[in-house]
Amino acid sequence: MSMSTSPHDFSNRELKISDKQQALRDGIAPYASQLGGLIRALHWVQHKFGYINPEHYVDIADVFNLSVAEVRGVVSFYHDFRTSPPPKHTIRICQAEACQAQGVRALTEAVEERLNTKMNSQTSDGLIELKAVYCLGLCSLGPSMEINGELIAKATVKDLERVKR
C-alpha cells in the first residue's frame, strides 16, 4: 500500500521565498528582539521600499511571531505608514493654529483649486499627493508648506511652480 502525500502536507517540502522577501526578512530581523521593534521595522520597510506593501505583512508577522491582523492593525493605526507606492510629489500644508492665524485656509483653498484635488488625496493623474499636517515647525513664518521635503515659509500658491509634473 503506497502512501500519498496530501497537497496540504508541507512537512516534506521547503517553502521557497523570493530574494525580495529574504531581503525584507533580513532587514527587519534585528528589530524583532527590541522593545518597540515592530514600529522601527515598519519604518525600515517603508524607507527601503517606499511603502509597506500589504503582501509583506505575512513576512513581517512571521519574523515578529505576530498575526497578520496585528501587523495590519499597527500599519493602519499610524498615519505615516503608506500601503501603496508614493506619488512623484508630496505637498504638505500646515493646518495648525499658528498657520491658521496667518491665512492657511485661503492658501489651502487656492492650492486645492490649482491642483483640482482636495486635502488628503491625490491628483487624478496620481502624481501629486496633498496632505494636511499639524506643525512643520515654522510657526512664526506661516503659513508653511513642504514640497517634496523642502520646507517653505510664508508659502503662497506661486510656490507650486516648484512641482514639475
* pLDDT tens readout for residues 38-79: 999 999 999 999 999 999 999 999 999 999 999 999 999 988
Cell of 113: 483649486
Residue 15 pLDDT > 80, yes or no? Answer: no
Please tell me the predicted confidence (pLDDT) of residue 20: 86
Residue 16 pLDDT > 90, yes or no? Answer: no
Phi, then psi, of 130 in degrees rounded to 5: -110, 120
* List of domains in the chain: 19-77 (no CATH), 89-162 (3.40.30.10)
Q: Which percentage of the chain shows pLDDT scores above 70?
A: 90
Task: Return the beta strands (E) in 5-159 as ranges.
Answer: 89-94, 121-122, 128-133, 145-147, 150-152
Please tell me the predicted confidence (pLDDT) of residue 152: 97
Residue 3 pLDDT > 70, yes or no? Answer: no
Please tell me the predicted confidence (pLDDT) of residue 14: 54
Distance from C-alpha of 48 to C-alpha of 59, rounded to nearest angstrom: 15
**Longest CA–CA separation in the chain, Å:** 84
Could you tell me the pTM of the whole model? Answer: 0.65
